[in-house]
């Protein structure tokens, strides 16, 4: 019987959480030299040049001595904030920065850092991360005001220790939280965080669309099931069962959920109407995309493509950029799954 993601209940250890604070497999080989700016959008080349200069600044040896340490502790470290639409290369540049800087540095998504703080406690997490030259935060999001306040406080503490911080998001720092939460304390925290960063706006078209990948390819349900049964390390889930299972797991466990999965097969994709299901599925797609795990999908009525996944209401909401990014990534994973389906498989 083919394994199902819905049957897994991972319990990642603290050591696992720490070991995961590195760029994901999809970007393990990303370097500044391999970032290809689109000549139609000069901001991409400008961002590459600024990241290159920032890496050089962080790579200079730091002077030893008490006076130097005191100066570092009393001076806010400069940070880089990469803003732009999905698929313009923000994560590629962030991981390239990680690889270009010597010494201790850490890399994780927003949710990975909040989970680390939950596991260690705030002060211990600050002490641990405060030993780094650079902390990279990918996908800075605002799903929860409490988590966002926690992260802004973490950034301030790290900056005060002389740690450089680089982050990506789809929204400018000054606009974080607009239209979602009205609390004045929350907005004040966001504004204080924005002052820690040099903001680099990156324009451009989703590079996945440049490669001609625009639709979420789907296969007949029977073919998806047969392929799952024939492939070593594959999983097979119905869409509804998978959504119900994701609701029982903290999103920080979604990475461990797909350990050793060679291809994820999901049947019966249909439109999502509520944020609670949609946002969890977005996180799972992100983890599958990071791990380069192909997806073989079937849609309701066995359509050749998934006609829509999120309602117009969701796509107009404050999370719309998340949803559009997920659609782009899901189309890429389904394209990989389509190619995989054409190869011979064997258990």
- Is the separation of the CB atoms in 155 and 145 below 8 Å? no
| Three-class SS state of 95 | helix
Write down the pLDDT at residue 212: 47
Which residues are 272's β-sheet partners? 310
- Domain extent listing, the chain: 31-205, 208-341
Write down the pLDDT at residue 183: 37
- Is the separation of the CB atoms in 47 and 85 below 8 Å? no
Cα–Cα distance measured from residue 123 to residue 12, given in angstroms and rounded to the nearest whole number: 21
Write down the pLDDT at residue 206: 62
- Compute how many other C-beta atoms are within 10 angstroms of the C-beta atom of residue 327: 22
Residues 6 or more apart whose CB falls under 8 angstroms from that of 226 comprise none
Cα–Cα distance measured from residue 82 to residue 94, given in angstroms and rounded to the nearest whole number: 8
- List per-residue pLDDT tens for the chain, 347 residues long: 789 999 999 998 888 888 889 999 889 899 999 999 989 999 999 999 999 999 999 998 765 544 444 444 434 447 898 887 777 889 999 999 999 999 999 999 888 898 889 888 999 999 999 999 999 999 887 656 788 889 989 998 999 899 999 988 765 455 555 544 433 555 566 677 677 778 888 887 766 555 545 689 999 999 999 999 999 999 999 999 999 999 999 888 899 999 999 999 999 999 999 999 999 999 999 999 999 999 999 998 888 888 889 999 999 887 887 888 899 899 999 999 999 998 865 44
- Is the separation of the CB atoms in 322 and 279 below 8 Å? yes
Write down the pLDDT at residue 225: 97
Write the class of the CATH domain 31-205.
alpha beta
**Location of structure tokens 């959480």:** 17
- DSSP 3-state percent helix, strand, coil across the chain (nearest 5): 50, 15, 35
DSSP state at residue 304: S
């Amino acid at each position: 019987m083919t394994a199902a993601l819905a049957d897994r209940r991972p319990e990642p250890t603290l050591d696992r959480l720490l070991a995961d604070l590195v760029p994901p497999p999809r970007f393990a080989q990303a370097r500044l030299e391999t970032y290809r700016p689109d000549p139609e959008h000069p901001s991409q080349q400008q961002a590459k040049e600024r990241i290159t200069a920032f890496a050089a600044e962080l790579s200079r040896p730091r002077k030893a001595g008490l006076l130097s340490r005191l100066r570092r502790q009393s001076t806010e470290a400069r940070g880089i904030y990469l803003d732009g639409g999905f698929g313009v290369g923000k994560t590629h540049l962030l991981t390239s920065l990680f690889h270009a800087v010597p010494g201790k540095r850490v890399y994780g998504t927003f949710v990975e850092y909040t989970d680390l703080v939950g596991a260690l406690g705030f002060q211990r997490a600050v002490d641990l991360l405060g030993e780094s030259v650079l902390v990279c935060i990918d996908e800075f999001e605002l799903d929860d005001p409490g988590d966002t306040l926690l992260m802004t406080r973490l950034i301030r503490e790290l900056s005060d220790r002389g740690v450089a911080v680089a982050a990506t998001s789809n929204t400018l720092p000054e606009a974080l939280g607009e239209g979602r939460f009205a609390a004045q304390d929350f907005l004040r925290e966001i504004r204080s965080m924005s002052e820690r960063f040099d903001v680099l706006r990156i324009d451009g078209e989703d590079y996945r669309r440049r490669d001609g990948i625009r639709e979420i390819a789907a296969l007949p349900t029977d073919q998806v099931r047969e392929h799952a049964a024939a492939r070593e390390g594959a999983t097979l889930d119905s869409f509804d069962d998978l959504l119900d299972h994701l609701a029982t797991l903290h999103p920080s466990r979604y990475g461990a959920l797909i350990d050793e999965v060679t291809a994820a097969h999901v049947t019966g994709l249909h439109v999502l109407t509520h944020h609670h299901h949609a946002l969890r599925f977005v996180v799972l797609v992100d983890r599958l995309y990071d791990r380069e795990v192909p997806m073989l999908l079937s849609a309701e009525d066995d359509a050749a493509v998934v006609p829509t996944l999120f309602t117009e209401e969701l796509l107009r909401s404050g999370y719309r950029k998340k949803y559009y990014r997920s659609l782009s990534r899901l189309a890429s994973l389904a394209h990989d799954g389509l190619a995989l389906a054409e190869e011979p498989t064997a258990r």
